[in-house]
Amino acid sequence: MRILSIFGTRPEAIKMVPLVKRLEADGDVQSVVCVTGQHQTMLQQVLDLFGVVPNHNLAAMTANQTLNGLASRLFAGIDGVLETERPDRVLVHGDTLTSMAAALAAFHRRIPVGHVEAGLRTGNLYEPWPEEMNRRVVDVIGDLLFAPTASSQANLEAEALGGRVIVTGNTVIDALHLMCARLDGDAPMRARIDAQFPYLEPPDRGRPLLLVTGHRRESFGEGFANICAALAALAQTGKMQIVYPVHLNPNVRGPVLGTLGHLNDVYLTDPLDYPEFVRLMQRASIVLTDSGGVQEEAPALGKPVLVMRDVTERPEALAAGTVRLVGTDRNAIQQSVLQLVDDEAERRAFARRVNPYGDGHASERIVAALTGKPFEPFASRVLPGYRHPGRTAPPVED
């Protein structure tokens, strides 16, 4: 079976690499990889780390790209690869423009599509934008929907797509386990990474470390102005250290570097390599983010997570009580962070290690499902009182 995996951004790469490695190792599969290059530097960081050499790189990124400009380059480039490779199946991941364009391009050639990380929903097409629509398009097209959890499966069932679903866990936990095992087993590596952050106070004696990431398109403008104002005010309290690896999108870098560039206790970095970022998550006291992947990883590391969004398509950790939504309101962000910084007991209560998103074996299950080998689905329960986010139907039974 010739399987063409297509991905293009940092998070897709982190979440697809464990699967690609398993596909490469399976005797029944001929694995081909196409990266679209929707991201450049941030994608290459991940490929280099895991030693993945793509068969095709479409180098689609341009500076400050528009959605339609990027989409047109993606469709043209991906179609050429489909023509050359003639795969039996295409695999895409998640909710990016790359995933949507690759799935639709494969559909136009009647090639079956497997969707990794299917079924997440907020119910609002504009949050996250345009990702909620991208994910829905891919789910409608896909004939194999690899849902990470029972709740994402229930979302697909509510849209009459349940017959195509396999619950696998999220491959992000596979990647995180791989990385934590490397870090745990390699003290010199940990020391090398820690030496890159000489300014950080020791975790046991220092002030709390607030780790921040943010990049959502729907927060450009006013949202990021609020986020930056909140961080500036938090830094001025002198109660914490703030590390913020800044996404390369110019709509993020502009306000963040402009507002926070010269503040005491705020350390802005370029996007970090995955081992560095995982190490910082391990060292952090609180994670403040709008990222999808970080919302899944940080709870697995037992870190309290404040999410700068009004809704999330990842309700599992919210239900487990280790994630809170704080939106992009300046005061809400400030107060939520301060409350946790000031109250160590509250921080500890909030910081419980939970693993609702996976057990590290998602890639194995996906490869087994693709090649007809036996496997146990990821054991996951529908959230109590769960409702499909786009509907007001009665709760799905547990």
Catalytic annotation, residues: 95, 117, 131, 215, 217, 247
Interface pick for ligand UDP out of 130, 148, 292, 327 (rule CB under 6 A):
292
Binding to ligand UD1 by CB under 6 A, coded x per residue (else -) over 27-46, reads -----------xxxxx----
Q: Which residues contact 301 (CB under 8 A, 6 or more apart)?
A: 176, 180, 281, 282, 353
Binding to ligand UD1 by CB under 6 A, coded x per residue (else -) over 110-149, reads --------------------xx------------------
Q: How far is the C-alpha of 259 from the C-alpha of 195, rounded, in Å? A: 27
Instruction: Pick between residue 40 and residue 237 the one whose CB is nearest to ligand UD1.
Output: 40
Cis-peptide, bond into residue 130, ω within 30° of zero: yes
Q: Which residues contact 315 (CB under 8 A, 6 or more apart)?
A: 151, 383, 386
* Partner in contact with 195, chosen from ligand UD1, ligand UDP, none, beta carbon below 5 to 8 Å by kind: none
* Partner in contact with 125, chosen from ligand UD1, ligand UDP, none, beta carbon below 5 to 8 Å by kind: none
Contact 363, 130 (CB under 8 A): no
Least Cα distance to 323 among 290, 283, 345 occurs for 290
Least Cα distance to 56 among 13, 95, 7 occurs for 7
Chain-centre distance of CA 288, in angstroms? Answer: 14
By the rule CB under 6 A, 57 interacts with ligand UDP: no
Q: 3-state DSSP helix/strand/coil percent for the chain, to nearest 5?
A: 45, 15, 40
Q: Is 35 helix (H, G, I), strand (E, B) or coil?
A: strand
Q: How far is the C-alpha of 26 from the C-alpha of 48, rounded, in Å? A: 22
**Which residue has the closest beta carbon to ligand UDP?**
291
Interface pick for ligand UD1 out of 170, 213, 249, 285 (rule CB under 6 A):
249
Q: How far is the C-alpha of 6 from the C-alpha of 116, rounded, in Å? A: 11
Please identify which residue in the block is written with the tokens 């982190």.
14
Instruction: Pick between residue 5 and residue 295 the one whose CB is nearest to ligand UDP.
Output: 295
By the rule CB under 6 A, 272 interacts with ligand UDP: yes
Q: How far is the C-alpha of 356 from the C-alpha of 149, rounded, in Å? A: 8
By the rule CB under 6 A, 11 interacts with ligand UD1: yes
Interface pick for ligand UD1 out of 36, 57, 96, 213 (rule CB under 6 A):
96
Shortest distance in whole angstroms from residue 27 CB to ligand UDP:
30
Alpha-carbon distance values, 323 to 166, 332, 342 (Å):
26, 15, 18
By the rule CB under 6 A, 293 interacts with ligand UDP: yes
Instruction: Pick between residue 7 and residue 378 the one whose CB is nearest to ligand UD1.
Output: 7
* Partner in contact with 248, chosen from ligand UDP, ligand UD1, none, beta carbon below 5 to 8 Å by kind: ligand UD1
By the rule CB under 6 A, 304 interacts with ligand UD1: no
Contact 79, 73 (CB under 8 A): no
* Partner in contact with 245, chosen from ligand UD1, ligand UDP, none, beta carbon below 5 to 8 Å by kind: ligand UDP
By the rule CB under 6 A, 279 interacts with ligand UDP: no
Contact 331, 313 (CB under 8 A): no
Alpha-carbon distance values, 93 to 96, 197, 308, 326, 354 (Å):
8, 32, 23, 27, 23
* Partner in contact with 223, chosen from ligand UD1, ligand UDP, none, beta carbon below 5 to 8 Å by kind: none
Instruction: Pick between residue 89 and residue 314 the one whose CB is nearest to ligand UDP.
Output: 314
Binding to ligand UDP by CB under 6 A, coded x per residue (else -) over 242-261, reads ---x----------------
By the rule CB under 6 A, 215 interacts with ligand UDP: yes
By the rule CB under 6 A, 277 interacts with ligand UDP: yes
Shortest distance in whole angstroms from residue 311 CB to ligand UD1:
15
Strands 209-213 and 89-93 come out as: unpaired
Shortest distance in whole angstroms from residue 214 CB to ligand UD1:
10
Residues at the contact surface with ligand UDP, assessed by CB under 6 A: 10-11, 14, 213, 215, 245, 271-272, 274, 277, 291-294, 297
Residues at the contact surface with ligand UD1, assessed by CB under 6 A: 9-11, 38-42, 61, 63-65, 67, 70, 95-97, 130-131, 215, 217, 248-250
